[in-house]
Amino acid sequence: MKPYLSIEKLTQRFPDGNGGELTVFENASFGVEKGEFVVILGHSGCGKSTIMNILAGLADPTSGVVIMDGTQVKGPSLDRGVVFQNYSLLPWLTTLKNVTFGVKARHPEWTKQQVEDHAAKFLAMVGLEGDVIHRKPSQLSGGMRQRVSIARAFANHPKLLLLDEPFGALDALTRGTIQDELLKIWGQMEQTVFMITHDIDEAILLADRILLMTNGPNARVAESVEITIPRPRNRTEIVEHPNYYAIRNHLVQFLGKRSKELAGQPTEVGQTNAPETVRIDLTEPTEDPEDKRPALKAVNS
């Protein structure tokens, strides 16, 4: 049984400017289940954004396919909504019009009133109501702009929502608030989400599963770490969960050390680079914890 979103043997190469080729990543394969929140973590240059662009249909891979809900992904589609890091709001439209822009594209048969009501509802879900929705993006703070962008994406009910470092340009406090709002709206919509981030705490708070990428070139998705912290999560409470620091240490260890050690190994032709599943759960008794938690050993040493 294939997962809802299946990435199969994805390879991306670019000319390196000296007549040769640069392999960003090779034979990357992984899946995302319906309704799942998957976060991909890795250093800059490992090809996270390239994977995102391929999933969005804005770029084509050198080889490999992406299959969503039984059909191959080709070109951009309303089924795959994107929230860009720089918000990508149209500056000449008001906040409301930026959202209706998306809704109109999704539901061309709706009346103007239906479109506006729908858009206003989703803006309200991210905390934008009243006069604010008639302002231009330039009159909004960065956090508010990203809220608009999130509302625009959710209002379209895409089958897959792609978030490209959505909070990268925001200050820590604003980031926290919007993460909470994202969790809330995600909880209501049962939306499948694929997100890129640099922020480990953000990844643990939001994700069901974190994909870890090794450094580029020749990057690959090395591990798939399950986040064994029950929902609903709350930023102040998850840190007290016994699994929190175990998972966090594993991630820090990977990004700090192992992402480098595992990097730069070209793979053989036809090899499938499926990530190794890692499950860290201190709450359930296991027969041989040392075996199941290799990363913890590394942390303690």
Q: Is 196 in the site for other proteins (CB under 8 A)?
A: no
Instruction: Determine the interface stretch with other proteins among 72-80, 184-192, 211-219, 255-263 (rule: CB under 8 A).
Output: 72-80
Q: Is 81 in the site for other proteins (CB under 8 A)?
A: yes
Q: Is 77 in the site for other proteins (CB under 8 A)?
A: yes
Least separation in angstroms between residue 104's CB and other proteins is 9
Q: Annotate 223-233 with b (16+ C-beta within 10 A) or e (fewer).
A: bbbbbbbeeeb
Report the C-alpha gap between 26 and 265 in whole angstroms. 10
Q: Is 61 in the site for other proteins (CB under 8 A)?
A: no
Is residue 199 a contact partner of residue 167, using CB atoms and an 8 Å limit?
yes
3-state secondary structure of 39: strand
User: Binding residue for other proteins (CB under 8 A) from 11, 29, 62, 86?
Assistant: 86
Instruction: Determine the interface stretch with other proteins among 3-11, 78-86, 165-173, 242-250 (rule: CB under 8 A).
Output: 78-86
Site for other proteins in 147-186 (CB under 8 A): 156
Q: Is 112 in the site for other proteins (CB under 8 A)?
A: no
Instruction: Determine the interface stretch with other proteins among 100-108, 110-118, 171-179, 194-202 (rule: CB under 8 A).
Output: 100-108
In Å, the largest CA–CA distance within the chain is 64
Q: Encoding tokens for residue 61?
A: 């891979």
For residues 82 and 195, which CB has a smaller minimum distance to other proteins in the complex?
Answer: 82
Alpha helices in the chain (DSSP H): 48-56, 95-106, 112-125, 142-155, 172-189, 200-206, 235-238, 242-253, 259-261, 289-292, 294-300
Q: Is 102 in the site for other proteins (CB under 8 A)?
A: yes
| Residues in the chain, total | 301
User: Binding residue for other proteins (CB under 8 A) from 76, 230, 264, 289?
Assistant: 76
Q: State the helix-helix crossing angle for 172-189 and 142-155, rounded to 10 degrees.
A: 10
Q: Is 136 in the site for other proteins (CB under 8 A)?
A: yes
For the beta sheet containing 209-213, the strands, ordered from the edge strand earlier in sequence to the opposite edge, are 80-83, 160-164, 193-197, 37-41, 209-213, 221-226, 276-279
User: Binding residue for other proteins (CB under 8 A) from 18, 111, 138, 301?
Assistant: 138
Query: Interface mask (CB under 8 A) for other proteins, residues 248-277, using x and -?
Result: ------------------------------
Report the C-alpha gap between 95 and 89 in whole angstroms. 8
3-state secondary structure of 63: strand
For residues 86 and 267, which CB has a smaller minimum distance to other proteins in the complex?
Answer: 86
- Find where tokens 């981030």 sit: 197
Least separation in angstroms between residue 160's CB and other proteins is 11
Instruction: Determine the interface stretch with other proteins among 22-30, 77-85, 197-205, 255-263 (rule: CB under 8 A).
Output: 77-85
User: Binding residue for other proteins (CB under 8 A) from 14, 21, 63, 78?
Assistant: 78
Is residue 106 a contact partner of residue 119, using CB atoms and an 8 Å limit?
no
Instruction: Determine the interface stretch with other proteins among 43-51, 89-97, 245-253, 276-284 (rule: CB under 8 A).
Output: 89-97
For residue 83, report the phi and psi dihedrals to the nearest 5 degrees.
-110, 115
Cα separation values, 269 from 9, 11, 276, Å: 10, 11, 19
Q: Which residues bind other proteins (CB under 8 A)?
A: 56-58, 75-78, 80-82, 84, 86, 88, 90-92, 101-102, 105-106, 136, 138, 156
